[in-house]
A and B are shown apart, each in its own frame.
Chain A
Amino acid sequence: MIETPANPNDFARRLLRRLKGRRRPEAEDGLGISEPGTISPFWVIVQKEFGDHMRSWRFGILIGIIALACIGSIYAAVTALKDGVKTQDTDTSFLFLQMFTASDGTLPAFSTFVSFLGPLMGIALGFDAINSERGKGTLSRLLSQPIYRDDFIRAKFTASLLLIAVVLFALGLLVMGLGLFTIGYPPTPEEVLRVVLFLLVGVIYVGFWLNLSMLLSIRFRQAATSALSGIALWIFFSVFYGMIASMIDKATMPPETSALDILLRHADRMLLLNRLSPAYLFSETTGTLLTPGIRSLGPLTTEQVVGAIASPLPLGQSLLLCWPQLVGLLAATMICFGLSYALFMRQEVRSRS
């Protein structure tokens, strides 16, 4: 019925087989008439949603924008790296990772693009997830089928998240491949792992925005309202939040001659304020993962640095460093999901209202 590429279908089937043992056995026993060889309604919806997204214009346009941006960023990175290598001022350790972070100044780096355009993708895939079904009158028809209500939103979320994962990993691997071609510098296993982790974090980050936009799509009955509020939040966090934070920073800055602990406390507060923004959390996390040289995300005093050897951190330590940020991102995602869950379960399902 749905011509999705074989790959996600297979993936779904495999995942299903693994989950089948645990997933709601009572639902299957109680009904007793489910035929063998049929997949659970959850995955039926996931497949359909995935197919719908793949065929939609919206997705085509989005992937076009993101792919173009990525090609641009690779070009910028490659020129930057070549110039840097020529003039000997580039640190040649972890050269491969610089594919994702370096830029010659004309275009932002790949990681910046992901942090900026990723939310757009999440919002675009989620803003009309529930309210369009409601508006089309398919929601009440769907929910009168033998499926759980939460299956429906979970399936919607899973399908979009799978799609996001496929896109991000495809782009990331493309960048790696192109990088291999152009700079001819093979990555070490650790570098590959770091890139994969970076992409995973990217999926979580975009997943947060997806969840947020789905929450809005449950809350608002009009798709346009939820899209606009989603985009407003996105612009607020990726553009204005930083400005507001720096404004507050300037306004509350203690004089430079103050005691160290006052300065430190102020810095910590500002950091906390910044970290309320998921975009900031994401940039910290990716920064740590892609730049092994980053040793701390907070302020460091000269005392603390004394005696430290300026060497890159091993992967485990980098992970440890950005772990709180990662947990923060996950928590934000969970909160959004919990809210949408609570809202949706309590909503009454009438046709087109």
Chain B
Amino acid sequence: MAMPQSQPALPDETSPVIELSRLTKRYDGQTAVSGLNLSIAKGEIFGLLGPNGAGKTTTILMMLGLTEPTSGRVRVCGLDPTRQPLQVKRRVGYMPDDIGFYEDRTALDNLLFTARLNRIAPAAARAQAAELLERVGLSDALSKKVGAFSRGMRQRLGIADVLIKRPEIIILDEPTLGIDPEGVRDLLRLIQDLSRKEGLTVLLSSHHLHQVQQICDRVGLFVRGELIASGDVASLALQLDDDRAVTVELEVSGWNAALGEQLAALEGVLVYSSTMGTSAGDGAIRVTLRCDRDLTTTAARTVIESGANLHAVQRKQYGLDDIYHRYFEGGGPVDRNAGKS
């Protein structure tokens, strides 16, 4: 394994630490990742979002040089993972989705083993391991065998294991899988903390939109081997929402047919519908307007000017959730009434 001695690119703030261009991976006829372009800047938390089998893990494996890409280019810290695997693995901490430890050894032993593989001097490794275990909240389970650990504890030990080599980038594959909501919150907070305080670049993959939304600076939506959108959560919705429609819901009592016609005739209303009986009591009616722009104020004014009572106004926009569902299920357009308020 002769290794070209090209020096890694200097980590200045502007150049991306992870750069993928036209990355493709095929498994006998089946394309797992196709033509992926992605760049992640230093200090960023990037969420790779996608359903199972979308090619998230394959992409991560290619970044680490654990799988060879069929075509395309990968650069991690300016290095090619296929040609310089050791340098890349030295800089990147990877936590697989179902992390395993040597069960008959203690948490500390497992960490020290990793530290020794990374050639950290024994004394320094011990101090660092103790500090990291403290940080992930496992300091009282230090000398417990990993076999007795719960899922959440393993995951936290996994974070410590990733951090002990003092990486520049950490890649977490489904870090929140199988942990209870409280544990997820703690874990995400920990990850966010790490990224902010130590300037770590974090790449995490998940199929839980809400978790990713909480901490990621940018999100990439990954479906069937293709990155269909990337950006921060707000812009992602914008990118994917093709017709930009807004739904306005009004609860009105003292309803008359003329008002209905008036509302339906408002400029910009695409679809008008109404249902009887709402939480506001008998005689109230729920009106749903789908408009091509934000008509909340206009609609409300129309109702009030007509002398009817307005109980509630709600503006619904296309949530990321809906987009996500649409792509996950591979279905057509989403019913906007189920949108996020």
Q: Give the interface of A toward B (CB within 8 A).
A: 1, 26-27, 29-31, 33-41, 44-45, 48, 52, 55, 136-148, 348-352
Q: Please, which residue of chain B has its CB at the minimum distance from the CB of A31?
A: B90
Within the complex, the shortest CB–CB distance from A76 to chain B, in Å, comes to 39
CA–CA, A55 and B87, complex, Å: 34
* A44, B122: Cα distance in complex, Å: 12
- List the 3 closest A-B pairs by CB distance, nearest first: A137-B100, A351-B96, A144-B94
How many angstroms between the C-alpha atoms of A188 and B86 in the bound complex?
52
1/0 per residue, CB under 8 A from A, across B38-75: the answer is 00000000000000000001000100101100000000
In the assembled complex, which residues on chain A have CB atoms less than 8 Å from the CB atom of B221? none
Chain A residue with minimal CB distance to B91? Answer: A146
A35: chain B residues at CB < 8 Å are 119-121, 124
Are B98 and A137 in touch, CB under 8 angstroms? yes
Among B64, B116, B165, contact of A44 (Cβ-Cβ < 8 Å): B116
Pairwise interchain contact A145-B117, C-beta atoms closer than 8 A = yes
Collect the chain A residues with CB atoms within 8 Å of residue B66's CB. Answer: 140, 143-144, 348-349
**Complex contact A30–B86 (CB within 8 A):** yes
Given A141-B96, A350-B57, also A37-B121 (CB < 8 A): yes
A52 to chain B: which residues have CB within 8 Å?
A: 102
Specify the chain B residue showing the minimal Cβ separation from A35.
B121
Q: Give 18 A-B contacts (CB < 8 Å), ordered by A residue.
A: A1-B113, A1-B116, A30-B87, A35-B119, A35-B120, A35-B124, A41-B117, A45-B117, A138-B102, A140-B66, A140-B96, A141-B94, A141-B100, A141-B101, A143-B66, A145-B117, A146-B90, A348-B61
B112 touches A1 (CB 8 A): yes
Instruction: Tell me whether B257 is interfacial, beta carbon within 8 Å.
Output: no
Max chain A Cβ within 10 angstroms of own Cβ: one of B64, B89, B99, B119 = B119
CA distance A350 to B25 in the complex (A): 15
Q: Whole-angstrom distance between the alpha carbons of A48 and B67 in the complex?
A: 26
In the complex, chain A residues whose CB is within 8 Å of the CB of B139: none
Shortest Cβ distance from A36 into B: residue: B121
- Which residue from chain B places its CB closest to the CB of A45 in the assembled complex? B117
**Structural contact, A26 and B5, CB atoms closer than 8 A:** yes
B86-143 interface (Cβ within 8 A of A): 86-87, 89-90, 92-104, 109, 112-114, 116-122, 124
Give the contacting residue for B165; candidates A29, A38, A145; CB below 8 A.
A145
Q: Which residues from A are CB-within-8-Å of B249?
A: none
Partner of A26, one of B3, B97, B99, B114: B3
Contacts of A29 in B (CB 8 A): 5
Chain B residues near A139: list those with CB within 8 A. Answer: 100
Q: Are A30 and B96 in contact (CB under 8 A)?
A: no
Chain A CB within 8 A of B322 CB: no
B92 to A33, Cβ gap below 8 A? no
A33 touches B121 (CB 8 A): no
Specify which chain B residues have a CB less than 8 angstroms from the CB of A37 in the assembled complex: 121
Q: How far is the CB of B169 from chain A (nearest CB, A)?
A: 12
Chain A residues near B116: list those with CB within 8 A: 1, 38-39, 41, 44
Q: In the complex, what residues of B have CB within 8 A of residue A39's CB?
A: 116
Question: In the bound complex, what is the Cα–Cα distance between A35 and B124 (angstroms)?
Answer: 10
A177 to B268, CA, bound (A): 102
Q: How far is the CB of A348 from chain B (nearest CB, A)?
A: 5
| B interface with A by C-beta (< 8 Å) | 1-3, 5, 57, 61, 64, 66-67, 84-87, 89-90, 92-104, 109, 112-114, 116-122, 124, 161, 165, 173
B3 touches A38 (CB 8 A): no
Expressed in whole angstroms, the Cα–Cα distance for A145 and B114 within the complex equals 7
Residues of B within 8 A of A41 (CB): 116-119
Cα(A140)–Cα(B114), bound, Å? 12
| Chain A, residue nearest B67 (CB) | A348
Asked if B57 and A33 sit within 8 Å, CB to CB, the answer is no
Q: How far is the CA of A31 from the CA of B2 in the complex (A)?
A: 14
Q: Would you give the shortest CB distance from B281 to chain A, in whole angstroms?
A: 56
Q: Is the CB of B101 within 8 A of A138?
A: yes
Q: Which residues of A contact B120 (CB under 8 A)?
A: 35, 38
B97–A351 touching, CB < 8 Å: yes
Q: Which residues of B contact A1 (CB under 8 A)?
A: 109, 112-113, 116
Which B residues are CB-close (under 8 A) to A137?
96, 98-100
A352 vs B98: C-alpha distance when bound (angstroms):
7
Contacting pair B119 A38 (CB below 8 A): yes
A48 B113 Cβ-Cβ under 8 A: yes
Residues on the A chain within 8 Å of B61, using CB: 348-350
In the complex, A237→B221 CA distance in Å?
56
On whether the beta carbons of B1 and A148 are closer than 8 Å, the reply is yes
In the complex, residue of chain A having the shortest beta-carbon distance to the beta carbon of B154: A137
CB distance from A209 to the nearest CB of B (A): 25
- The closest CB in chain B to the CB of A147 belongs to B117
New A-B pairs, 16, CB < 8 Å, besides A141-B94, A348-B66: A40-B119, A41-B116, A41-B118, A41-B119, A44-B117, A136-B102, A137-B98, A141-B95, A141-B100, A142-B117, A145-B117, A145-B118, A146-B87, A147-B89, A147-B117, A351-B99
Task: Name the residue of chain B whose CB is nearest to the CB of A348.
Answer: B67
Given the complex, which residues of A lie within 8 Å of B1, measured CB to CB? Answer: 148
Q: Are A352 and B100 in contact (CB-based, < 8 A)?
A: yes
Min CB gap A344→B, angstroms: 12
Q: Roughly how many angstroms separate A136 CA and B59 CA in the complex, as a whole number?
A: 22
A46 to chain B, nearest CB (A): 12
Partner of A144 from the list B64, B84, B97, B122 (CB cut-off 8 Å) is: B64
